[in-house]
Amino acid sequence: MDSLLVQAILLAILTAVIVIDWMTGTNNLSRPIVTSVFVGMIMGDLKMGIMMGATLELAFVGAITIGAARPPDIVSGGILGTAFAIATGKGAEFALTLAFPIAALFLLVDNLLTLLVLPMIARKADTFAQEGNLKGISRMHVLGFILVKSLPRALFIGFSFYLGSPVMERILNAIPPFVQDGINIAAGIMPALGFAILLQMLLKKDVLVYFVIGFAMFSYLNVPILGIAIFGVCLAYIIVTMENKNKQTVSKEVSIDDDF
Amino acid sequence: MMTSNDGVLTKDDLKKICIRSCALEASWNFERQQHMGFAFAMMPALEKIYGNNEAGKKEAAQRHLEFFNTAPPLSTFIMGIVVSMEEENAKNPENFDTATITSIKTALMGPLAGIGDSLFWGTLLVIGIGVGASFSKEGNILGPILFLLIFNVPNFLLRYFGVMQGYKFGTKLLENIESSGVMKTLTHAASILGLMVIGGMSGSMVSIQVAGSIGQGEEATKIQSIIDGILPNMLSLLCVLLVYWMLKKGFKTTHVLFGIFIFGIVAAFFGFLTT
């Protein structure tokens, strides 16, 4: 076997394993600063690997998961960036220009899988819940991780390294921009479904107004969610205290001690 | 069997929740986000709490497959509270309104996500990268090691104390639940808080932007800014309400899921929405 193939296989295995990051406490094992150590070992230059880790990590530092926004695929970007840097020996910037289109292409694949495939696995978990099969739910959770988060990424990185950046860039360019945009638009709207399912449980006519208050506070006043919650606690306290006072005039037995 | 006020859960059961909480993000998805991870963490506790009560078990399992998203290091605090409520529900089902569990979960996940994201991803991660990168730049293996320690020592400590404190807090909250009116008060207060948070999150987490502008050259006004001028996040709200209405009308969630996907592609093709 040629060394390129061996390296590609090892990088794929590394990827499949390193994403246990999300299984073991979202502990950032899959960030470039850590993966670069292992990539360095695989590529036969540990020191260069560690140094590349610093460069790539700083390049990705803005890519932080906050709320619904999703960063570019930092796992594949970090692993391939380090691997290309050592393989070509042409420095970090050149390596990044090779790795970036691949990370962008994988983000597309990942978005598609998290958008459509994982919810299908989740529906299987829903069925298990209706049957009271709790072990089944746990199995679906792990299956979702393997089938969506781990394996596709590993295969993708292995193939990308083996085929080289130009091939992957051609694939990325062959995908019409509206498909990429469409996936991102759908990903932006999709949480609406999650909220709607939740609201089915919570929304009743007499409390609808609080949903509106929360929305209006965020939208017009730009109050962050924590601020809305603080107002919510106070409002809830005022309302239940008043309600209980009204009741107390009828029966003196009701106690109004600390509910919150 | 469960007559005393003491719960069935032991410290070991809570530790198990803490450990299983580590897999919270393993099946993250756009629709319900960390829901399977939350359920995964709760499973052994639910199994123990409900024992042979199959109906209760089924309901609880379905309850915890609903939308959930928070900062993972703080998630166990919510789990601790929730598990104390599940315990109370199993003990005392005719007096307990399970909607309260969902309300409390919802009310806590948003604010804790805000605190946790800025503490962990906004602060500790950045410090970790700063310190780690300064060593890594020299090719020193201490770089990645310090990076992991700076982030993860607080991460795992908070997970442990979170579940313990959450459980304690929840048990205390439910102490007087037997006396008349307390459950009703709690349910009402929790739903007020939960709905306010979910109202805010509907604006902050559902994103949809109209493309294009009216007028030409310097006179041009973006259509999105006209919409924002009327009601910011109006389209996010409409999306949530529309989907809510569709589910009420009996549409299957799977169909809505694919519907949103196709809508996204079509909207991008004709260019009336943008990212």
Digit-coded pLDDT (tens) for B140-185? 999 999 999 999 999 999 999 999 999 999 999 888 777 777 888 8
- Using the beta-carbon criterion (under 8 Å), do A233 and B200 form an inter-chain contact? no
Contacts of A177 by beta carbon, 8 Å cutoff, 6+ apart: B268
- Using the beta-carbon criterion (under 8 Å), do A201 and B182 form an inter-chain contact? no
Span of A3-12, A170-179, B132-141, B164-173 with lowest mean pLDDT? A170-179
- Using the beta-carbon criterion (under 8 Å), do B195 and A195 form an inter-chain contact? no
| Structural element, H or E, at residue B170 | helix B142-173
Q: What's the confidence (pLDDT) of residue A66?
A: 40
Residue of B nearest to A192 (CA): B240
Closest approach of A168 to chain B, Cα-based (Å): 23
- Using the beta-carbon criterion (under 8 Å), do A229 and B110 form an inter-chain contact? yes
Q: Look at the block and give the residue holding tokens 């299984």.
A: A23
CB count in 10 Å sphere of residue B149 = 14
Span of A90-99, A202-211, B234-243, B255-264 with lowest mean pLDDT? A90-99
User: Is pLDDT at A65 greater than 70 in this prediction?
Assistant: no
User: Is pLDDT at A70 greater than 70 in this prediction?
Assistant: no
Candidates B19, B22, B29, B197: best to mutate against A (most CBs of A within 10 A) is: B29
> What's the mean per-residue pLDDT of chain A?
88
Q: What's the confidence (pLDDT) of residue B146?
A: 97
- Using the beta-carbon criterion (under 8 Å), do A225 and B113 form an inter-chain contact? yes
Q: What's the confidence (pLDDT) of residue A71?
A: 58
- Using the beta-carbon criterion (under 8 Å), do B58 and A130 form an inter-chain contact? yes
Nearest to B202 by CA among A180, A56, A190: A190
> What's the mean per-residue pLDDT of chain B?
92
Residue of B nearest to A226 (CA): B111
Candidates B193, B228, B274: best to mutate against A (most CBs of A within 10 A) is: B193
pTM of the entire predicted model = 0.89
- Using the beta-carbon criterion (under 8 Å), do B102 and A210 form an inter-chain contact? no
Among A85-89, A180-184, B74-78, B126-130, the range of highest mean pLDDT? B74-78
Provide the b/e sequence for A113-136 (b: ≥16 CB within 10 Å).
bbbbebbebbbebbebbeebbbeb
φ, ψ at B127 (rounded to 5°): -60, -45
Nearest to A153 by CA among A217, A206, A74: A74
Closest approach of B29 to chain A, Cα-based (Å): 5
**Using one digit for the tens of pLDDT, what is the confidence trace for A199-234?**
998 888 889 999 999 999 999 999 999 999 999 999
Q: What's the confidence (pLDDT) of residue A2?
A: 81
Q: What's the confidence (pLDDT) of residue B140?
A: 95
Closest approach of B1 to chain A, Cα-based (Å): 22
Closest approach of A170 to chain B, Cα-based (Å): 21
**Using one digit for the tens of pLDDT, what is the confidence trace for A113-158?**
999 999 999 999 999 999 999 999 999 999 999 999 999 999 999 9
**Using one digit for the tens of pLDDT, what is the confidence trace for A228-260?**
999 999 999 999 888 888 877 765 544 445 544
**Using one digit for the tens of pLDDT, what is the confidence trace for B187-205?**
899 999 999 999 999 999 9
Is the ipTM, as predicted for this complex, more than 0.95? no
Q: What's the confidence (pLDDT) of residue A244?
A: 80
Closest approach of B218 to chain A, Cα-based (Å): 27
Q: What's the confidence (pLDDT) of residue A63?
A: 52
User: Is pLDDT at B4 greater than 70 in this prediction?
Assistant: no
Q: What angle do CA B122, B127, B130 make, to 5 degrees?
A: 125
- Pair B43, A134: CB distance under 8 Å: yes
Measured between beta carbons, which residues in chain A are less than 8 angstroms from residue B124?
Answer: none
Measured between beta carbons, which residues in chain A are less than 8 angstroms from residue B266?
Answer: 182
Closest approach of B47 to chain A, Cα-based (Å): 8
Q: How confident is the model at residue B3 (pLDDT cuts 50, 70, 90)?
A: very low
Cα dihedral A15, B17, A125, A143, rounded to 10, equals: 20
Residue of A nearest to B149 (CA): A27
Q: Which residues sit opposite B213 in a β-bridge?
A: B222
